[in-house]
Structure 1
Amino acid sequence: MKINGVSNIQKIMNAYKTNKTQNVNKVSLKEDKIEISQQGKDYQFAIDALKDVEDIREDKVNDIKIRIENGTYTVDKHKLAKSMIKEDLNWRG
């Protein structure tokens, strides 16, 4: 069996290879870009600021300890009861 027109097939194949290479090059030129919104920046700023805040206010704790030891620390029972009820209601949802 003899195949005629091999040169035509080669021209088509070469054209296909060239187009494919050009398309790949076009795609590879694109760059990824990320933008952080102002809300995201504000959120990060708040998180960073909270890292610097102490969890326990040592001055207040020490003051209460001294007052308890001296017997001068008093609790407002009405305020305590309100806080307990409020906390219970929040916990129950």
Structure 2
Amino acid sequence: MRIEAYNQISQVYNTEKANNIKQNMKASQNDKLEISQQARDYQIAKNAVAQTDDVREDLVAKYKAEIQSGEYEVSADDFANKVIESYNKLML
């Protein structure tokens, strides 16, 4: 039994394995990624939201001034109606 022959066979086997890996890598280089229109629309919407201010300063200033001056009043009926509307939207 010759040990050197085993080493030579092992080297040939590893060389073939490396060649197979290289061929597979070449084949995978032709892969393409396609993004759906829905994903593109989502990205556009996400960017638009990111560029929009979180707080509408004009409305905040208006209501803050009304509260500080004591002019701001909330109707209990209006408040109750808004709560019911929100609840109904959630249940649909």
Whether TM exceeds 0.5 here: the answer is: yes
1:49 partner letter: A
Equivalent-residue separation in structure 1 for 2:86 and 2:68 (angstroms): 28
Q: Where does structure 2 lack aligned partners over 5 or more consecutive residues?
A: 1-8
1:34 partner letter: L
Bigger share in helix: 2
Deviation at 1:35, TM superposition (A): 0.9
Work out which of the two has the higher radius of gyration on C-alpha atoms and give 1 or 2: 1
Corresponding residue for 2:3?
Answer: none
Corresponding residue for 1:39?
Answer: 38
- Among 8, 24, 27, which residue is 2:24 paired with? 27
Corresponding residue for 2:61?
Answer: 62
Seq. identity, %: 34
TM-score in terms of structure 1 length: 0.60
What is the RMSD of the two structures over their aligned residues, measured on CA atoms?
3.0
Equivalent-residue separation in structure 2 for 1:28 and 1:60 (angstroms): 58
Q: Where does structure 1 lack aligned partners over 5 or more consecutive residues?
A: 1-12
Corresponding residue for 2:71?
Answer: 72
TM-score in terms of structure 2 length: 0.61
- CA deviations over 1:27-79 (Å, ceiling 9, x no partner): 33212321111111110010000001122111111111111122221213211
